[in-house]
Amino acid sequence: MRLRYTSLLIGVALACASGFAEQKEGTPAQQSIAAAQQQIKLDPKKVQAFNELALGLLRRSRETADAKYLKDAEAALAQGLQLAPGDFQMQRTEVALMLGRHDFAQAKERALILHHRTPDDVATYGDIAEADIALGNYPDAETNAQWMMNLRPNNIPALIAGAELRVLYGDPAGAIDFLNRASSETSPAEVEELAWIANRVASIQVESGQVDAAEQTLEQAERIFPGYVSTMENLAAVRMAQNRANDAVELLTKAAEVDSDPHVIYRLAVAEQKAGLSDEAQAKEAQASFVEFEKMTSEPGKATHEARLDLVLMEAGLPAKAPDALKLAQAEMAERQDVWTLDAYAWALFANAQYQAAEAAEQKAMAIGIRSAQIFDHAGHIAQRLNHSEDAARYFKLSIQSNPMSDYASDALKSAGTTVLAYAPEQRSVQTASGSPLEPESPDVLPRPTIASKEQAARPGEVATVAASLVFAPVPEALLTPHPTGTDRLIQSAQATALRNPNDAKAYSGLGAAYFQRARETGDVNDYQLAEQALTKSLDLVSADFSADAALGTMASVCMGEHRFNDALSYAQRGLSLGTGDVSSFAIVGDAYADMGEYDKAALAYSRLTPRDMTLEPRAAYARDSRLAYLKLIAGDTPGAILLMKTAVAEGVEAQLPSENLAWLYYELGEFSTLSGDTASANSAYMAAITIHPGDYRALAGLAKLRANHGRSAEAIGLYQRAIAVVPMPIFIAELGDLYAQTGNESEARKQYALVEYIGLLGHINQVLHNRDLALFYADHDVKLSEALELAQKELEVRHDIYTYDALAWALCKNGRLTEAADASAKALRLGTQDPLLLFHSGMIAARLGQVEKARADLEQSLHINPHFGLIDSTVAQQQLNRLGIQSASKEGSGQYAR
């Protein structure tokens, strides 16, 4: 798809013919070029004339698909800018040129500068939205498209941007509606624009399997604007769907004579290949075209992003070229993460046997909501290779339903095999009705991450086998560094709004929410304070009517982030007392009770998230299920917790959560799996988190811990360093220090240990946030033991949850107060939580008290759950068992333990 240039349609007055019938007058672009050249001839210093010339040349480039007009436009702009370097219209057209060349990152950067200069310019919003769509920043694009609508209702660029987003969000019918509205707003004289819109409608119809409708739409486009290259290319797609490959070859050959994009050559090669199944000459032509395509795409500056993705898919299908495909896909991922780049990256990972990473990348693509036969087919193959048969069946079915006329649907039909029959009996018609499309599935059926059945849940006896055979794939460099999320820009926008409207409570509420989101992303405690200041201002202005609900809810979340649990409870309850009908604050009420150890009250609060006789929306469902999963975990039902957390992840995907929030769900799933000893699933979940939210510090530390606990020290050190570079969390720094100590690098270990203390004691908020972590750090390392106990006791003053009792028990033990330690440990385990660390602490305390049988039982259970639960502690547990007279063999040999 060629992106349109929004700047070409706003504020540009063109003297166009009333229709295309009088071809002697030329196309609208040719008329514009001629008029501008005439003005320049009359007045060589008229800046606006150079701008109109550049715009006309850009439009001519789209009319003809000839890149030489882009060079001519650049020359016209250079002349105009030489006359008036600061001219706003010229600079905006310069952005349009960047978009025309697919320099989307540069175009966005330049458009943002213009936006700050003139905040309410509709065209600039359009440029930013177009760049964001291309780069995969869909929420930002949606925001800008909405602003365009607000500033100028039913303007054409906003409708077209909205249409693109509707396609991406899985609503092709809505997209076509937007495009039809855009067409109705377009002047009849703008024949190329009308033809472009018709072609976009047709392409959506083709991708949705509406081939006959697409053919009719393209007939209309040809009548409006004969000989249009886009019409040839889309009609070729129709002919391919109709199994008329020879006709497609003829159309694409003609298009390739005009359009120099290697993507057209690739499509020609595919068409020739299909025609070559019954024609040897065409088969040879296909081979030659593939070679020409590869050569063109490899030439610097020659290939578009679309062509490079074609090359990734082509090379991924050739075993010898698969590593090249992955390198190219990684390079593309570094520039943009739109759905098609994610899909190509997933397919390249799949071709290189990195199946879990492939699944994570494809999940991120599907999370946007797009219904693509290609993407679903790829997802099916990935799930099939991972033995996720139910998911594979669902994805293959979705591929067939998304576009039953496509080659991807045909592949899905073949690839499903007995999978569809075994896991979806109602789909038997797929196997018996040759080529007939499935009945449309209900709209709520969306791709979901794998949800294991109870029978598939990891059994303790199987853990060591999985861990022993696990091979950790390298983590792609592109996923190690945080990518811009748009939060900083959101803060800037909110600041500007609040500055313009100092008495607007909603403006300050939005600013506080933006600061809080950045605190989530970066762990910067200063943002909690900034969020609180903004929210306090909002509540000073309005605190007792419905409009205060958002500020009260966000303030409750800020207090939770600062471990001010009673304050969080108070703000959440104030929000509920407003009577808005919004029950989401019950989540914060439950969270506050859970962190304070009042689990029954937490469960009651979470139950209020499900109103009677009401089906929850995905966003509310994920909020409920992720929290109920935690309650299952601490109640000792780890398999049930994992299953419910997977459901929450799927609901989060369906709800299209922001990347950081969705990554957090995957991180929590990874933590649950780590706790249970299922290293492979934990690794997959952490990889999904950083694929969705590159540079996620929690997930990076999770990956590091897995590798450290399995002897991959060098990889673990690198990952810990990356995580700490993003957010220096004391617990991760301590783990890195232990890893350095374990590998004999005592000097580095000491540096890390010193840093733990420095950060843990830096400022009031840090002291509150890290009391428990610092208490455990001191106790684990047998230093400052009295301070460890003091910190644990201080933490107990504000929260009585099981993990605070565990920290207190360990600190008491290290201070020789064993009876009190045993009592605190019993409180930590009172719910039957199957956490190896809690059981390890309990077993070690029992051993020091001489309670041999209890010590054995607890230490055996900790190793049984996860033989690799800690870099140091799992070894200490085994050594203590040996001292107690237990001769433990490896789990593979005896079914007992594994080191």
Residue type, 810: W
Supply 581's token pair.
């009908």
Cβ-proximal residues to 300 (8 Å cutoff; 6+ apart), any chain = none
Contact in structure between 194 and 179 (CB atoms under 8 Å): no
Q: Return the domain boundaries, the chain.
A: 380-418
The pLDDT score that the predictor gives to residue 433 is 26
Contact in structure between 276 and 283 (CB atoms under 8 Å): yes
Contact in structure between 167 and 175 (CB atoms under 8 Å): yes
For residue 831, which of 873, 801, 864, 870 has the smallest C-alpha distance? 801
Which residue's structure tokens are 């843990």?
A: 760
The pLDDT score that the predictor gives to residue 25 is 63
The DSSP secondary-structure symbol of 523 reads: -
Contact in structure between 898 and 467 (CB atoms under 8 Å): yes
Gap between the Cα atoms of 357 and 642, Å rounded: 20
Gap between the Cα atoms of 679 and 356, Å rounded: 12
End-to-end distance of the chain based on CA atoms, in angstroms?
55
Helix (H, G, I), strand (E, B) or coil at 616: coil
- Any idea what the Cα angle at residue 642 is, between residues 373 and 450, rounded to 5°? 15
Cβ-proximal residues to 325 (8 Å cutoff; 6+ apart), any chain = 311, 312, 313, 314, 315, 316, 347, 348, 351, 352
The pLDDT score that the predictor gives to residue 888 is 42
Gap between the Cα atoms of 218 and 215, Å rounded: 5
Which residue's structure tokens are 């605070």?
A: 804
Cβ-proximal residues to 880 (8 Å cutoff; 6+ apart), any chain = 843, 844, 847, 855, 859
For residue 393, which of 327, 436, 441 has the smallest C-alpha distance? 441
State the Cα torsion 42-44-48-50 to the nearest 10°.
Answer: 110
The pLDDT score that the predictor gives to residue 543 is 82
How far, CA to CA in Å, does 755 sit from each of 556, 854, 870?
A: 31, 37, 21
Contact in structure between 486 and 139 (CB atoms under 8 Å): yes
pLDDT along the chain (899 residues), means of 10: 44 34 62 90 90 87 78 90 89 87 86 84 85 88 81 83 91 90 88 92 93 93 91 94 91 88 89 77 80 84 83 92 93 90 95 92 91 95 92 90 87 68 32 27 26 30 34 80 85 90 92 92 86 93 86 93 92 88 88 94 89 63 92 95 91 84 94 94 91 93 95 94 93 96 94 89 65 94 96 93 97 97 97 97 97 96 95 93 65 36
For residue 139, which of 306, 305, 335, 338 has the smallest C-alpha distance? 338
How far, CA to CA in Å, does 518 sit from each of 350, 437, 489, 660, 701?
A: 34, 46, 11, 10, 19
Gap between the Cα atoms of 138 and 140, Å rounded: 5
Supply 40's token pair.
């320049």
Q: What share of the chain is helix, strand, coil (3-state, %, to 5)?
A: 75, 0, 25
For residue 50, which of 77, 10, 12 has the smallest C-alpha distance? 77
How far, CA to CA in Å, does 726 sit from each of 274, 721, 762?
A: 49, 9, 18
Kindly tell me the number of DSSP H helices and DSSP E strands found in the chain.
Answer: 49, 0
For residue 783, which of 806, 760, 764 has the smallest C-alpha distance? 760
Supply 173's token pair.
């019918």
The pLDDT score that the predictor gives to residue 762 is 65
State the Cα torsion 675-681-687-693 to the nearest 10°.
Answer: -70
